[in-house]
A and B are shown apart, each in its own frame.
Chain A
Amino acid sequence: MEKSFENVVLDIRGQICPACLLITLREINNNMARLRSGWTRLIVKTDHRDATRTIPSAATAMGYDINIVKKEGFYEITIEHKK
């Protein structure tokens, strides 16, 4: 039976300034085992521009791959285990 990809979506749009990085880090830590298994992705939705600097930087430093896509009015950052 094929295991399917799981997406954990973190929608933190509209929140107060530092919340983005802190909440994201917290979620990364909560889901660490599942992320490291390679079957789970963390998708962060943020409208906070500085988060597109801090989140990729932190996630990459922790050893994850990141991908950023600009959507309508916000940025979507995908964090997953390095392939």
Chain B
Amino acid sequence: MTSFPYIIAIHLVFGLGLGIIMHRSDFCMAGMFRDVFLLNDYYRMRSLLLLIVLTSLLLYLGRISGIVASYPPSFFGTPSITNLLGGVIFGTGMVLAGGCAVGTLYKMGAGNLVSLFAFAGMIFGSLLFAELYAFNLSLTDATTMTVNKTSAEHIVGNAGLPVLALTAFAAFFFYRWIKEKKWIEKTYAHGHLLPWKAAMLIALITMLSFILSGRPLSVTSGFAKLSAYLGEQISPVYIADKPFFREDSLRLLNSTVTSGRLGTGIDSIALTQVPMIAGVVIGSFVSAVRLREFRIGHLPPLRQILSALSGGIMMALGSLMAGGCNVWHIMGGLPVFALQSLLFVSGLTAGSYFGTYMLRRIVV
């Protein structure tokens, strides 16, 4: 059950699922934050909240029933300033890039050239981060905020309390929004999947990921690995020389492979994140083709290209600094109340506000 082809296949399928679901429902987290600041439009953001609360509830139920084994979440470390800073940088970058980490992937798969440039920026930014790796490590160590506590439940002292409080609080608003008919807005695009339905499906996928691999989904390390492969073609010496690409940064529970380096080579990242990245791109490509909406060919204005490139670079830097991208922290960390993720998302919110401002002033 834990053979290499199986792990690769599972994560490819997760990616395909995410790619199709997000493409059909426009579930881009960058867009969600940006729409709030730019247009005072909370429509898609509500579904993100639904996703977080649902995932949180599912994981808690899984944990008390024993299906989900990985508690307390060991892969979320103690919080430091780098989570916050990384979040700010990531938040700014994702708005400038026109899409978050997965958003960029699914838009690229559907033929959007802006996101192709953002993707290139993310690869390049991952390479750049190798230079900052040591500095980031020492900054992280120097600003660690707790000794042992990694989740809000450690602070509260009770595992169920945060979940139940969140669920109760959210249920009140969710119900009100049903009454106010705020869960549905008319969208004329063909094959549209309502965001709230997408949220439910994505919560299920996250749950599956926890059950099968013991950890949430992520793509950041996958990007770093891809950048290493690319970098090695250009300058093997550069890659081999960087500790960032040599060190062991990943542990996969419930699997025979228990470590992962960000450099080239087969390890848990190659088996999980890279197939996921491929899956998202292929999934959205197939989704777009089936709707006959796949099209490449409209080159965006130069300003937008530059915005996407720099946004992509910032996303890579921000997520590598903070130990994960928006998928990892928002979809995986917030539901388990990881302190790192709370910091990251705070930073991301501020960053996306700033990014929206920059977008408005300079880009569009």
Contacts and interface: CB of A to CB of B under 8 A. Distances in A.
Interface of A: 13-19, 21-23, 47, 49-50, 52-54, 56-57, 68, 70, 72-75
Interface string B305-318: 00110000000000
A53 B187 contact: yes
Contacts, number: 88
Nearest to A12: B298
A62 to B, nearest CB: 14
Interface of B: 23, 26, 28, 30-31, 34-35, 38-39, 41, 43-44, 98-99, 111-114, 185-190, 192, 292-295, 297-301, 304, 307-308, 359-360, 363-364
Nearest to B187: A53
A47 B299 CA distance: 13
Contacts of A17: 28, 30-31, 34, 98-99, 114
A47 B364 contact: no
A52 B38 CA distance: 17
Dominant SS among interface residues on chain B: loop
Contact of A50 (B31, B114, B293, B307): B31
Given A14-B300, A17-B30, A72-B292, 16 more contacts: A14-B112, A15-B300, A16-B300, A16-B307, A17-B98, A17-B114, A18-B35, A23-B364, A47-B293, A49-B23, A49-B192, A52-B187, A56-B186, A57-B186, A74-B295, A75-B188
B114 A14 contact: yes
A75 B192 CA distance: 13
A13 B299 CA distance: 9
A13 to B, nearest CB: 4
Chain B CB within 10 A, most for which of A14, A17, A57, A75: A17
